[in-house]
Amino acid sequence: MSAVKDITVLAVTKMHGGVCVAGIDSAGEWVRPVRVERKREAGGITDYCLLPLDFFHGGKSHLVNMGVTRVWLDRHQSSPPHTEDWTLDLDHKPEFIRKLSSEEQEEFLRTHAEPDLSVLRADGLRSLGLFQAESFSFTFALNKTGEDIMVRARFRAGKEELSDVGCTDLRMRALGRRLLENHEGRSVAMTEVDFRRRGKRITYLAVGLSRLYRGKHWPILVGVHSLPEMEIVVDYVNL
């Protein structure tokens, strides 16, 4: 069944060959717009990514963190735990409506945050959730070839702490590139203390479960939302 949904975007991330996007619709449900599967890579990684041509038009991206975007969807493509998947209607490009104000962002994040990570289970009914970070740190480093950025995270939400979690948030990748420019390519770390020094009062994390890889759905940090919001420009030519 086709649908038109207005989603508040909470994740714009790097994925194999493109971008993965997710947000919460006006009914409070998570939605992940995807293309129909294009290929299946070795190891069982399924690639449902969107391409820049799907959402970048009129000289701008129409999928913006903490912005409301209208998306046209073909059908619900539920495959637990990735029950949020909807195939994108490629005949209608997503349309950016507006950015949430600072006050609206704070209210939205507070309202939709969950108490702990228990909703994210491989045998569960959801692969996405939003959580207030009680403590966290990020490590930024170049990969072995020096051609790409790697972002790893440690964070605590509720009673559970996860470490060495991959972070694919495009803004954090852009931040890492900027930080490494001043450190001659060496790794750089940031903690919640560094965020507070930059005036960030509180930070929420959007966390997802990967597609099946090596027999497991791995946790991934797909969105980092601080208040006040981070001002980081994403270069869509160099994701």
List, for residues 177-222, the tens digit of each pLDDT value. 999 987 776 899 999 999 999 999 999 999 999 988 888 899 999 9
Task: Please give the mean pLDDT across all residues of the chain.
Answer: 90
Q: How confident is the model at residue 47 (pLDDT cuts 50, 70, 90)?
A: low
pLDDT reading at 38 higher than 60? no
Residue 22 covered by a domain: yes
- Rounded average pLDDT over 93-111: 97
* Residue 191 to residue 180: CA distance in whole angstroms: 16
pLDDT reading at 123 higher than 80? no
Residue 192 covered by a domain: yes
List the domain range (segments joined by +) for residue 163: 3-227
Residue 232 covered by a domain: no
More confident of the two residues 115 and 212? 115
Determine what percent of the chain is predicted with pLDDT higher than 70.
95
As for how many domains the chain has, the answer is 1
pLDDT reading at 17 higher than 50? yes
Residue 235 covered by a domain: no
Residue 237 covered by a domain: no
- pLDDT of amino acid 145: 75
More confident of the two residues 141 and 215? 141
pLDDT reading at 101 higher than 70? yes
Residue 86 covered by a domain: yes
- pLDDT of amino acid 15: 84
Residue 236 covered by a domain: no
Q: What are the Cα distances from residue 149, in Å, to 86, 139, 190, 230, 231?
A: 29, 10, 15, 19, 19
- pLDDT of amino acid 214: 86
Residue 29 covered by a domain: yes
pLDDT reading at 73 higher than 90? yes
